[in-house]
Structure 1
Amino acid sequence: MTASTTTSTFVLIHGAADVGWSWHLVAEELRAHGHEVITPDLPCDDESAGLPEFADAVEKAVGASTGDVLARDVSPGARRDLVVVGHSFGGFTAPLIADRLPVTELIYVAAMIPSPGERPAGWWAHTGYEAAVAEQAALDGGLTGNEDPYVSFLGGVPEELAQEAMRRSRGQADASSAAPWPLAAHPQVPTRALVARDDRFFPADFLRRVTRERLGIEAEEIPGCHCAMLSHPRQLAAALELSLR
């Protein structure tokens, strides 16, 4: 991919039952272009941890990596631009970081985009997810919404890499979905949303609609499955860098 003209600190937030490792190929691409990359593990399998605790874990990781410069000093010369990226369920955490820290850009990747006061557990019904999946499944022969994670999440990921992703997966505690999303509005920062062309978990057309309804912007399409960071890491990294050029 073409190198960007600006070096940034990318905070890459994983989805439900996942780990920061899922971003390792994208992180390699970004680091090769001079960016700093932070890929925290969220306490997603901890029943005492809700969304605020998820945000605490990310903020702690950012502070540990930057010496708290990002949190304490917003002067242009004091830090690299901070770009926060949320994948899938990470879409509920990423804007919390954009609300807490001086963020240059917020990017949703195949992500759940929250509404103020919405419980993550209610997101599915509020967005019409079930009907959208049924509609797409009728077109693709039941691939969308398939119960096999190698089909719905990891379709298109090389076999050995998909197996490693499954080996590293964790549980997702109910606590993270039970409480309302705490912000009264989306952070007032430049925001983008990327949808994966072959996503069999969050169909691309479905997420385009949700993006328009909730953010008032048009989503951008990238190649890959729901876990595009593993199926198409170079293309995803290039898309994340796009607005930095």
Structure 2
Amino acid sequence: MDNKEVYVLVHSAWLGGWQWDNIAESLRLKGHEVIAPDLPGHGIDDTLPKDITMDDYVDKLIGILDKQKCSVILVGHSFNGITISRVAELRPSKIKSLVYLTAFLLPNGGSFYEAVKEVGNSIAVDNFEVSNDRTYAVVKEEELQNAFAHDISAEIFEGAKPHIVREPLAPLMYELEITDKNFEKIPKYYIETTEDKAIPIDIQRSMYKGKVLKVYSIKSSHTPNFSSPQKVVEALLDVAEEQKKINLIQSHLKVYNNIKFHRLFSNEDQLLAHFESMEGNESYAHMLLFENSMENKIHTVVQKVPDNQLGGHTMFDGASTSTPDNTEENKNIIERFLKDVWIEGKVSIIQDFFEEGKVIQHNPMVEDNVEGLFEFMKSLSSQGISLHYDEVLAIFAKGDMVMTYSKGFIGEEKHFFADLFRLKNGKIAEHWDVIQKK
């Protein structure tokens, strides 16, 4: 099988590699290789909790990755989102994608123990107990199923119960060590569980916001591997398809180094990437639109990221995923916006496209809101410079995200403009752009 992937599936706290049995079987039937190890102290590994640290978990996984001839899709469930993050930092070249299954996606310095202090309305957290000798942790037995697997039968849960182990405490206290150079460059995906009583959905969303390329949503408890295994399989297979899109883009970007993807969207005919590259100590912003036609057209715009950026935002932060809302309507709104305001110069109607003049602005020279845009235009005008679009050359739309590729002028100089808009309730809510002199 030419498109065979290697999936390394890392179980949650208290469980073991056995939790992936149904999912692993389905992936193998699709022709993929699956490795679902027991971390120390879990499954058939009988290492005592007192003898286990995060280094032991990490070393186990690194040992597996180092034996692979190709890079893998590394999946972490629940607590072990922290573990796969650390492994990614140490072996970035061995990992093509990271997948967090209702997992802890924490920043540098974060720990499970500190993170759960901020979690409310969690049956798991409310019933979390540490042993008197502080070597392991448990969740009260009477609340185990309600906390983690309320949507499977009591009979199935009782069958799994003998395999649940005491969770070593030291890894739970570990403070994550990751860097932009290694960890941040790896594409990330999140599988959220909306009925979760261990990590409530609002906590999941706060952890992955702005950090992942795509989110998969499952109506499930904290253990969709038991209650909705086929949904998990579908998500993992789709991650492999997303990776193919990244591979396609990278095949056209061999001249760029240290690429980090911030946004990746596709529809039936187009593929849009918003990414960053590094040349020495300088950062460059890119938008690339790939049109899957007979000609396979590629529209790309590159801009050096300035040292100082206004508005408290960067050219890359903000919403990173799309919502499946009103694609055609949103596309039409942006087409009118560019035609009426930027091509025909009807600046007086610009407020019609924003909710009370509010917009999050990622152009490094422009403050937030329409007022910030007016100030920028006034500044250009005071220097005798005008900004004018001539023609929209291509447009992409997916849900609430719309991107346009245009040509025009800044002063007397020709430029290409790549603009990405996020819309909410028919109004522009957020804007990124990349501008390149022709």
Normalising by structure 2, report the TM-score.
0.46
Highest RCO, 1 vs 2 (Cα 8 Å, sep ≥ 6)? 1
- Structure 1 residues 74-93: Cα deviation after superposition (integer angstroms, max 9, x where no partner): xxxxx3x5100000011111
Aligned to 2:398: none
* Equivalent-residue separation in structure 1 for 2:101 and 2:83 (angstroms): 12
Q: Answer yes or no: is the 8 Å Cα contact 1:17–1:171 preserved in 2.
A: yes
Q: Which residue of 1 aligns with 2:74?
A: 84
How many residue pairs end up in the alignment?
Answer: 216
Residues 220 and 149 of structure 1, relative CA distance in 2, 3 Å threshold: same
**Quick check: 1:31 aligned with 2:31?**
no
Question: 1:205 Cα shift?
Answer: 2.5
Compare 190-199 and 40-49 and name the one that shifted more: 40-49
Moved segments of 4+, more than 4 Å: none
Letter in 2 for 1:222: I
- Higher helix fraction (1 or 2): 1
User: Does residue 178 in structure 1 map to residue 173 in structure 2?
Assistant: yes
What is the DSSP-based 3-state SS (H/G/I as helix, E as strand, rest coil) of the residue aligned with 1:58? helix
**Greater shift after overlay, 93-102 or 35-44?**
93-102
Identical positions, percent: 23
1:220–1:5 CA distance, 2 compared to 1 (3 A): farther
In the TM superposition, 1:41-190 aligns within 5 A as 41-44=38-41, 46-63=49-66, 68-70=67-69, 79=70, 81-101=71-91, 102-125=94-117, 128-130=118-120, 133=122, 148-185=143-180, 186-190=183-187
Encode CA deviations 1:78-129: one digit per residue, 9 max, x unaligned.
Answer: x3x510000001111112222333111000001111221223211113xx31
Structure 1 or 2: more strand by fraction: 2
CA distance in structure 1 between the aligned counterparts of 2:212 and 2:24, rounded to whole angstroms: 29
Equivalent residue number for residue 15 of structure 1: 12
Q: Secondary structure at the match of 2:221?
A: coil
Please say if residues 73 and 96 of structure 2, whose CA atoms lie closer than 8 Å, have aligned partners that are also in contact.
yes
Residues 8-64 of structure 1, C-alpha deviation per residue, up to 9 Å, x if partnerless? 11111111111110111110111110111111111245223222210111222445x
Cα distance in 1 for residues equivalent to 2:165 and 2:143? 16
Contact 2:187–2:213 under 8 Å retained in 1 = no
1:197-216 matches, within 5 Å, as 197-212=194-209, 215=211
TM-score in terms of structure 1 length: 0.79
Q: In structure 1, what is the equivalent of residue 346 of structure 2?
A: none
Partner of 1:220: 216
Distance 1:168 1:240 in 2: 25
RMSD (CA atoms): 2.6
Could you tell me how far apart the structure 2 residues matched to 1:29 and 1:158 are?
Answer: 22
Deviates more, 1:116-125 or 1:167-176: 116-125
| Residue identity opposite 2:219 in structure 1 | P
Aligned equivalents of 1:98, 1:29: Cα separation in 2: 25
Q: Secondary structure at the match of 1:207?
A: helix
Gaps of 5+ in 2: 42-47, 127-140, 242-438
Q: Distance in 2 between matches of 1:243 and 1:218?
A: 9
SS of corresponding position for 1:84: strand
SS of structure 2 residue aligned to 1:104? strand
What secondary structure, in the 3-state scheme, does the structure 2 residue paired with 1:225 have? coil
CA distance in 2, matches of 1:5, 1:85: 22
For 2:202, the aligned partner's letter is D
